[in-house]
Amino acid sequence: MQIKRVEPKTYTYNITLDENDEEYTSCVWADFIFNCDSGRLVINSDAGDYSYCWGFNKNEDFMHLMGRVNRDYLLKKLSYENCFLLEESKNKTINMIEDIGYNCFDFATEEDWKNCKEEILNLDSLVAGNEIHFWDEIEKLVPEIDERTICIEKDYPYGAKLIVDIFIKYLQPKIREEFNQ
């Protein structure tokens, strides 16, 4: 057996937000750990823990990459859209039905569609609070609807969006300054 001590090139930044920072009530502290040898970013914070490994890239220094990434790119690497958005799903599904034409769904009259639309808008999180229950409720309310017409909208978790915003707003300018970008 061999045990080898590895001392990677790493940088750690600790951010402690002030009480007057707008993010303070949701995130007081965050540690950002950059392992430049493996191309790994590890974030520990009171808004959640996140990590991603880009891998080693001989063509670009890892800190240069971190100095130029944008919000959407970093958010996609650290998290994924798994938060069901009920209101947005209802509105987009209604718009899809109206774009196709409500008469394609066996509503006898426009009034029948208006009543169904009102029932969709009144769905609440107790009945349709996740994508499966939403899907089931829409199928009950709309005759002959198919899966292409039911719209499920999702977003990134709040903590992931917050930590990425903190990275972009506070840490990225410091990285650019320190690594001459």
Cα 66 to Cα 29, 42, 55, 111, distances in angstroms: 20, 12, 13, 55
Q: Poorest-confidence range of 52-66, 79-93, 96-110?
A: 96-110
CA distances from 104 to 7, 14, 35, 51, 89 (A): 65, 57, 56, 47, 20
Number of other CB atoms surrounding residue 122 within 10 Å: 10
The span from the CA of 64 to the CA of 48, in Å, is 25
| Mean pLDDT lowest among 50-54, 75-79, 105-109 | 105-109
- The span from the CA of 98 to the CA of 34, in Å, is 49
What φ, ψ does residue 107 adopt, rounded to 5°?
-85, 130
Task: Report yes or no on whether pTM surpasses 0.75.
Answer: yes
- Whole-angstrom Cα distance, residue 138 to residue 150? 7
**Rounded Cα gap, residues 33 and 79, in angstroms:** 17
Report the alpha-carbon distance of residue 101 to residue 8 in Å, rounded.
60
Mean pLDDT to the nearest integer, 62-67: 96
User: What was the pLDDT predicted at 34?
Assistant: 97
**pLDDT, tens digit, for every residue of 1-60?**
999 998 889 999 999 999 998 899 999 999 999 999 999 999 999 999 999 999 878 889
What is the structure's pLDDT at 181? 60
What pLDDT, on the 0 to 100 scale, is given for residue 107?
85
